[in-house]
């Protein structure tokens, strides 16, 4: 059974060999990589919304090299802690599906027989995601209009992507759990020291969301030993600094053979009230 719903009439979708179909005759082709396009034209604000090909390739290179393995492992542990057999998991803003696939595989390995789905607005990201994990469903869609039914998910994951709290509440079951990953104050600090004359730490956020009860905040800290300038450049392209760094800072970074960088995350765990 699919976690997706028809973006036109909101009826449940059924996954066939080549397409998803709804009982009202709407049909959505499955791409050759295995994802489905569920973003209606009126939610599409450009020809190819979301992260572009180059950005996605950089992030895929960096994540696939395993630098963020401690974060993925912690997400896997939390998914195991907060779900039961037969659970449904939705990853909103799943990107290349690197975390999605990790969580799905961990749940399968533990005998949970999960149904897992990832949604992202970038089709370039989903091309990687769908090839990475064939058992997980992936759809092009908006976090603000998730193509998923009310109360379909036991666990919702949001890892560095747009927050749509009301929509997340809609798709979660009562008492469903929401994992929200944000950068810690000193995340990528050493890179910021190279890029900026006066770097600032990220603000430590208190995040109260209406309709959610905070359960815990789980820190994940590690030091990345980046010895390949191409990996360092890929990391830079994944960050928001990519858009707002002065040229001199970028040149300083490009001159480095590698860098040891702090990676720090906070996983905020909420339960739907
Ligand atoms: Zn329909």
Query: Distance, CA 87 to ligand 1 centroid (Å)?
Result: 25
Helix (H) or strand (E) holding 264: strand 259-272
Check residue 256 and give its pLDDT. 97
- The pTM score is 0.94
With pLDDT > 70 as the criterion, what percentage of the chain qualifies? 100
The answer to whether residue 155 scores a pLDDT higher than 90 is yes
CA of 265 to the centre of ligand 1 (A): 39
Q: How far apart are CA 126 and CA 179, in angstroms?
A: 21
Q: Of 35-49, 104-118, 131-145, 230-244, which range is least confident?
A: 35-49
Strand partners, 148: 4
Q: What separation in Å is there between the alpha carbon of 33 and the centre of ligand 1?
A: 23
pLDDT at 212: 95
With a cut of 80, say whether residue 207 has pLDDT above it. no
Is the pLDDT at 270 greater than 90? The verdict is yes
Whether the Cβ atoms of residue 263 and residue 68 lie closer than 8 Å to each other: yes
13 CA → ligand 1 middle, Å: 8
- Ligand 1 is an ion; residues with CB less than 5 A from it: 6, 8-9, 11, 22, 24, 26
Tens-place pLDDT, residues 44-69: 777 777 888 888 999 999 999 999 99
Tens digits of residue pLDDT in 84-101 = 999 999 999 999 999 999
* Tokens 């970074």, residue located: 253
- Residues 145 and 7: beta-carbon distance below 8 Å: yes
Give yes or no for a contact between 35 and 117, defined as CB atoms under 8 angstroms apart. Answer: no
pLDDT band at residue 269 under the 50/70/90 scheme: very high
H or E stretch covering 182 = strand 172-183
Residue 208 has pLDDT above 80, yes or no: no
Q: How far is the CA of 29 from the centre of ligand 1 (A)?
A: 13
Give how far Cα 223 sits from Cα of 33, 77, 195, 220, Å.
34, 20, 18, 11
Find the helix or strand (DSSP H, E) in which 37 lies: strand 36-37
- Cα-to-centroid distance, 20 and ligand 1 (Å): 10
Report d(CA 89, CA 118) in Å as an integer: 8
């Amino acid at each position: 059974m699919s976690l997706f719903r028809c973006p036109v009439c909101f009826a449940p979708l059924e996954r066939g060999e080549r397409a998803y179909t709804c009982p009202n005759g709407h049909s959505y082709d499955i791409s050759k990589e295995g994802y489905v396009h569920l973003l209606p034209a009126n939610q599409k604000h450009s020809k190819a919304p979301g992260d572009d090909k180059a950005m996605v390739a950089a992030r895929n290179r960096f994540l696939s090299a395993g630098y963020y393995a401690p974060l993925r492992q912690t997400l896997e542990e939390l998914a195991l802690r907060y779900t039961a057999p037969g659970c449904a998991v939705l990853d909103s803003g799943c990107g290349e599906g690197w975390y999605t696939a990790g969580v799905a595989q961990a749940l399968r390995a533990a005998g949970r027989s999960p149904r897992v789905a990832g949604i992202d607005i970038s089709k370039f990201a989903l091309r990687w995601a769908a090839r990475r994990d064939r058992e997980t469903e992936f759809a092009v869609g908006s976090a603000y209009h998730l193509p998923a039914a009310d109360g379909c998910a036991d666990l919702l994951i949001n890892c560095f992507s747009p927050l749509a709290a009301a929509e997340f509440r809609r798709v979660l079951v009562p008492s469903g759990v929401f994992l929200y990953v944000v950068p810690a104050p000193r995340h990528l600090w050493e890179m910021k020291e190279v890029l900026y004359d006066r770097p600032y730490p990220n603000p430590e956020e208190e995040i109260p969301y209406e309709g959610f009860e905070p359960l815990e905040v789980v820190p994940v800290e590690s030091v990345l030993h980046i010895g390949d300038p191409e990996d360092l450049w890929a990391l830079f392209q994944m960050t928001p600094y990519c858009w707002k760094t002065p040229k001199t800072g970028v040149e300083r970074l490009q001159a480095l053979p590698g860098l040891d960088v702090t990676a720090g995350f906070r996983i905020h765990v909420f339960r739907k009230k």
